[in-house]
Each structure stands twice: as structure tokens, then as C-alpha cells.
């Protein structure tokens, strides 16, 4: 049996990757570690993946989605490196041109930008479905993110099955390492990810409005792209309740309670501002 490790570029995923290599390498015939770049990660995330790769000798395979514009033709992969990886969202833009803007109703960006290139790459190695397992970095304190298809898809969750790692344990571990991911939790993944809570998005809009330039341009150029009909005439927008990037930036100018990196404060929790999708902390392929 082979093992595919899906490295999402976050601290939890990096910890899992290192733990697997230190503890489970002999359980598998071959191990492949992939990182799928969307072109909308922060530079710090790319540097972190590269640093993990170099420090731990991981042999990370950097992939990007190679979207085929022809209807019915699946997404393949392009191999890149830290140096050549997209920083301007090119893979994401190609995806949007074909499939339209992703949002809560059309949540396909993870599967097209991350899962599809990873699977395509593994197929190019001759790995057929059923001949490999895929390791996903979900912690025990986020068990609700485990896929209901884990057996069918041959998924393993080492941080739940073996290490029982929580966010606190992983942060403590990282505190003892010689390097770390130098961004805060709300900044990770695609910097402006539409799955983040509104409070995180508003905070980002105040601190780093430039990260919203890409989604704003996508809405301007492609809100009617993709194989769908728009009875409203508004087009497709990224954020909850059909909110546009421009509206979100405008809203961030009004007073609101900023997101803080504290443990969950249930007194402050507000359904409207703090609800988030599964990729809010890390964008995993399943
Ligand atoms: S981080 Fe968000 S926007 Fe980026 S691929 Fe994942 S779900 Fe989509």
C-alpha cells in the first residue's frame, strides 16, 4: 500500500507530515507528499512549505491545477517549484473562467484546485484508486471535519487515530522548533477565502485590503462565467448572503469587533460574524 500525504501548508498539516515520516514510513511501500498551490496563498505560507521541505528533507511535490477549458475534460496537474509557483492566482483564475465563482452554493474550488491535481499527479505515477491511502491533517479537536467517505476514499487521519493532537499540543510543538509559520490563523489558506468567518474577513479587510484585489477583479470579470443560468441578473459573488467583495470592504469601514487569536470566547460568539466553513482553518482536499 502507498501513502499520499496531502500537505495543505498549515502548521497542523506540517506536523502530521513530519510525524508520519518519523513514525510510519515503514508501513508503506511508497510515500508521496504533495502541496497544491492555488496562487492565492500568502508568501509566508509558500516560504513555510519550502522551509519544511528543506529542513526535513520531505521531497514535497509542488502542484498547480491545469484546468482544461473544454467542457467535460478533467483538471490535470502542472508541476511547479517554490520559485515558479503562482503568486497572482493564475490557477484560480483559470478555474473560475471555466466553472464560475465558487461560493457556498458552488463550493468546488478545493476539489478542482487541490484534489484534482493531486489525483492527476498520483495517476501519472501509476497509482490507481485503492492502491494508496491519503493522509489528511485534521486534529482531534476538529473531528467534525472528518469525511463521511473516509473508507470509500481510503483516507486516514493520523492526528486523530494515533497522536490525538489538539491545536494547543501542535502550537506547543511548533514553539520548540527553529522555525514556524509566521502568519496568524485568520490569514491562512487563500488569503481572502470565502469560507472564513465574516469577523475574520472584516478584520483582514481593515488590515490587508490588498488581498481582496483578486476576488474583486474576479467578480468584475467573471461573475457570469461558468455553466449556469442567473435568473437574478446579479451574477455570482464570493461571500455569504450574496455579498460582493466591494460590499465587504465597505462594511469593514463600519465599527465591528475585530477577530482576536484567543481561545473561543463563547460570550462573544455571534452566529452572523463567527460562522465559518470547513476550510476556515486549513483547506484540506477532503
Ligand atoms: S482556501 Fe478557500 S478559496 Fe482557497 S481553495 Fe480552499 S476553499 Fe477555495
**pLDDT of 265 over the 60 cut:** no
Q: Which triple of cell numbers denotes residue 106?
A: 458552488
pLDDT for res 279: 53
**pLDDT of 22 over the 90 cut:** yes
pLDDT for res 255: 97
pLDDT for res 267: 56
**pLDDT of 252 over the 80 cut:** yes
Reported as a pLDDT band with limits 50, 70 and 90, residue 277 is low
pLDDT for res 270: 66
Q: Is the CB of 115 under 6 A from ligand 1?
A: no
Q: Which triple of cell numbers denotes residue 145?
A: 471535519
pLDDT for res 230: 78
Work out the number of other CB atoms within 10 angstroms of the CB of residue 229. 6
Q: Give the residue numbers spanning the domain of 208.
A: 198-280
Q: Is the CB of 193 under 6 A from ligand 1?
A: yes
Question: Which of 156, 184, 212 marks a domain boundary?
Answer: 184
CA of 196 to the centre of ligand 1 (A): 9
- Domain of 44: which CATH number? 3.40.50.620
Are 85 and 139 within one domain? yes
Question: Which of 122, 149, 184 marks a domain boundary?
Answer: 184
Q: Which triple of cell numbers denotes residue 168?
A: 494547543
Are 115 and 225 within one domain? no
Encode burial over 257-284: b for 16+ CB neighbours within 10 A, e otherwise: eebeeeeeeeeeeeeebbebebbbbbbb
Average pLDDT over every residue of 20-39:
97
Residue 193 lies in a domain: no
Residue 191 lies in a domain: no
**pLDDT of 264 over the 60 cut:** no
Instruction: Report how far residue 222's alpha carbon sits from residue 214's, in angstroms, rounded to the nearest whole number.
Output: 12
CA of 253 to the centre of ligand 1 (A): 25
- The total number of structural domains that make up the chain: 2
Question: Which of 127, 152, 184 marks a domain boundary?
Answer: 184
C-alpha radius of gyration, the chain, whole number: 19
Average pLDDT over every residue of 113-121:
97
Are 101 and 130 within 8 A, CB to CB? no
Find where cell 468567518 sits. 197
Which of 79-83, 113-117, 188-192 is predicted least confidently?
A: 188-192
For residue 111, count CB atoms less than 10 angstroms from its CB and return exposed for 0-12, middle for 13-18, buried for 19 or more: middle
Are 54 and 88 within one domain? yes
The atom of ligand 1 lying closest to the CA of 114 is: 5
Q: Is the dihedral of CA 238, 241, 245, 246 positive or negative?
A: positive
pLDDT for res 280: 54
Reported as a pLDDT band with limits 50, 70 and 90, residue 69 is very high
Q: Is the CB of 139 under 6 A from ligand 1?
A: no
168 phi and psi angles, rounded to 5 deg:
-60, -45
Residue 192 lies in a domain: no
Find where cell 509566508 sits. 44
Residue 167 lies in a domain: yes
Residue 190 lies in a domain: no
CA of 99 to the centre of ligand 1 (A): 14
Average pLDDT over every residue of 123-149:
94
Amino acid at each position: 500500500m502507498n501513502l499520499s500525504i496531502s500537505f495543505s501548508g498549515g502548521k497542523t498539516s506540517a506536523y502530521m507530515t513530519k510525524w508520519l515520516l518519523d513514525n510510519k514510513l515503514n508501513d508503506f511501500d511508497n510515500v508521496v507528499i504533495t502541496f497544491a498551490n492555488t496562487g492565492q496563498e500568502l508568501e509566508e505560507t509558500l516560504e513555510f512549505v519550502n522551509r519544511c521541505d528543506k529542513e526535513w528533507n520531505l521531497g514535497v511535490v509542488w502542484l498547480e491545477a491545469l484546468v482544461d477549458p473544454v467542457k467535460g475534460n478533467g483538471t490535470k496537474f502542472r508541476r511547479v517549484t517554490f520559485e515558479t509557483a503562482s503568486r497572482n492566482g493564475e490557477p484560480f483564475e483559470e478555474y473560475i473562467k471555466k466553472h464560475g465563482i465558487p461560493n457556498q452554493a458552488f463550493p468546488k474550488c478545493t476539489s478542482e484546485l487541490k484534489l484534482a491535481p493531486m489525483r492527476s499527479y498520483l495517476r501519472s505515477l501509476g497509482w490507481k484508486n485503492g492502491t494508496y491511502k491519503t493522509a489528511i491533517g485534521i486534529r482531534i479537536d476538529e473531528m467534525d471535519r472528518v469525511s463521511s467517505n473516509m473508507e470509500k476514499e481510503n483516507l486516514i487521519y493520523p492526528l486523530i487515530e494515533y497522536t490525538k493532537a489538539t491545536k494547543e499540543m501542535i502550537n506547543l510543538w511548533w514553539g520548540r522548533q527553529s522555525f514556524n509559520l509566521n502568519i496568524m490563523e485568520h490569514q491562512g489558506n487563500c488569503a481572502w477565502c470565502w469560507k472564513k468567518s465574516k469577523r475574520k474577513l472584516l478584520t483582514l479587510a481593515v488590515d490587508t485590503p490588498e488581498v481582496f484585489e483578486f476576488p474583486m477583479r474576479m467578480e468584475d470579470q467573471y461573475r457570469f462565467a461558468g455553466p449556469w443560468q442567473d435568473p437574478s441578473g446579479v451574477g455570482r459573488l464570493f461571500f455569504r448572503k450574496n455579498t460582493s467583495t466591494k460590499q465587504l470592504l465597505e462594511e469593514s469601514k463600519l465599527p465591528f469587533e475585530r477577530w482576536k487569536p484567543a481561545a473561543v470566547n463563547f460570550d462573544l460568539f455571534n452566529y452572523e460574524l463567527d460562522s465559518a466553513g470547513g476550510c476556515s482553518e486549513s483547506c484540506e482536499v477532503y
